Amino acid sequence: RPDSGDFTQYEGVIDDGAEHYDTRYWHPHGTPPGKEDDDARAKYGFPLVPNLLDSCRAPFKATGLNFPWFAVHGNHDALLQGTVAPSEEFINEMVGPRRYTALPTTTPLFEVLMQFREVGPASYPSADDAPYVSVAEDLERRAIERGEYAQMHLNSPGTPRGHGFTEENAKNKTMYYTTNLQGVKLIVIDSVNHFGGWQGSLDLEQFEWLEKEVAAADRPVVLASHHPLSKMFNDYAPVGRRVCLAEIQTMLLKYPQVIAWLAGHEHRHHIEWIGPQEEVTGFWQIETASHADWPQQSRTVEIVTDAAGDIYFGLTVVDHAAGVDYAKAQNPLEIAALSRAISANVWQKRPELGAKHGIDWWLGRPTDRNVVLKINKR
């Protein structure tokens, strides 16, 4: 059930109540009497969708997958808003009876933004005298620790058991593993810096484990992580040290068995060759878009070897099953259709309003989508 707290009412920031109505949020149910229309509808053409918030909270039966799937740990699995390491204070606030509606009087917005950054440390201000509304307490809103994250996969249905994670992962609170998939060795790494910051890196122990696994491989190696290599520069470490882009790339390029790195994080389609042009070593980095943002697509990756020993990757972008018409947005497919339409029209992605990239950046170039890639026999 995609809900928390009081199951009889919506308690989030898109509150329809006139007392805490905020024009910066889209209110699909409409405008309270005596208030101005929100920016989403007044300026950017967002629709009225009656009962949407109740439809989004309704229980549904997940279809599931008919094939084995493997999990990759990402920054939104470990950090608050993918950025801030959970502290005891904020874990208590997450499950508690308050939803804050503004900053404390002594905390300017620019100060908050300065502390919320891609390279740690990252933090939220203390609540102090921040105004709030009362909501239902719910322990299910708690932050999930890495060991618990692995255990939840071990307890979940589907195959393989644990979806890559093992009892050892749950015990040691490690989020990386390796498995053989027919003729390929898949190495899944944990690129999250659990000290904070939304960009990635590896701890030293994991980096040393990774090199041992790559060096011992008796077949082509495919890496998978949340962050692509280009975003592995979060070196913040109050204890120990983090291993970042240059050191990781230098190590991987020593081993010709590494052929690909699959990643997400930037929510875009992007393909890049990492390594020398003569292809003695090197690999394809294959980034794929997100279902949270436009274009809401997945990708299939087929790996084949021809008689000469050359390796080919067949990459195909896949849309989700929702249609164009979202009707009344009352069931999962209709809600998914509306979600896609919204993702293509969010004003935060408009360059004329200050966005770094236009909407086409997330789509990628034609060569980032449906393509065939090749690595010559090594």
Closest by CA to 335, choosing from 326, 324, 323, is: 326
CB 348 within 8 A of CB 355: yes
pLDDT in the model for residue 18: 84
Strands 258-263 and 283-287, bridge-based pairing? parallel
Peptide bond before residue 121 is cis, with ω within 30 degrees of 0:
yes
Output 353 or 252, whichever has higher pLDDT: 252
CB 363 within 8 A of CB 370: no
pLDDT (mean) for 9-27: 87
- pLDDT at 235 > cutoff 80: yes
**Angle between the N-to-C axes of helices 245-252 and 204-215, in degrees from 0 to 180, rounded to the nearest 10:** 10
**In angstroms, what CA-CA distances link 9 with 4, 6, 32?**
10, 6, 17
Q: Which helix (H) or strand (E) holds 52?
A: helix 52-57
DSSP 355-371: -SS-HHHHH--GGGSSE
Q: What is the pLDDT of residues 48-90, one digit of tens each?
A: 999 999 999 999 998 888 899 999 999 999 999 999 999 999 9
Q: pTM of this prediction?
A: 0.95
Q: Which helix (H) or strand (E) holds 342?
A: helix 332-343
Q: What is the mean pLDDT of the chain?
A: 95
pLDDT in the model for residue 1: 82
pLDDT in the model for residue 97: 97
- pLDDT at 240 > cutoff 80: yes
pLDDT (mean) for 210-236: 99
Output 16 or 225, whichever has higher pLDDT: 225
Per CATH, which fold does 143-375 belong to? Answer: Transcription Regulator spoIIAA (3.30.750)
pLDDT in the model for residue 278: 85
pLDDT in the model for residue 253: 98
CATH 3.30.750.180 in the chain, residue ranges: 143-375
- pLDDT at 362 > cutoff 90: yes
* CA–CA distance, 72 with 52 (Å, rounded to integer): 31
Q: What is the pLDDT of residues 175-190, one digit of tens each?
A: 999 999 999 999 999 9
Q: What is the pLDDT of residues 259-296, one digit of tens each?
A: 999 999 999 999 999 999 888 899 999 999 999 999 99
pLDDT in the model for residue 16: 67
- pLDDT at 13 > cutoff 90: no
Q: What is the pLDDT of residues 122-149, one digit of tens each?
A: 999 999 999 999 999 999 999 999 899 9
Q: What is the pLDDT of residues 318-339, one digit of tens each?
A: 999 999 999 999 999 999 999 9
pLDDT (mean) for 215-225: 98
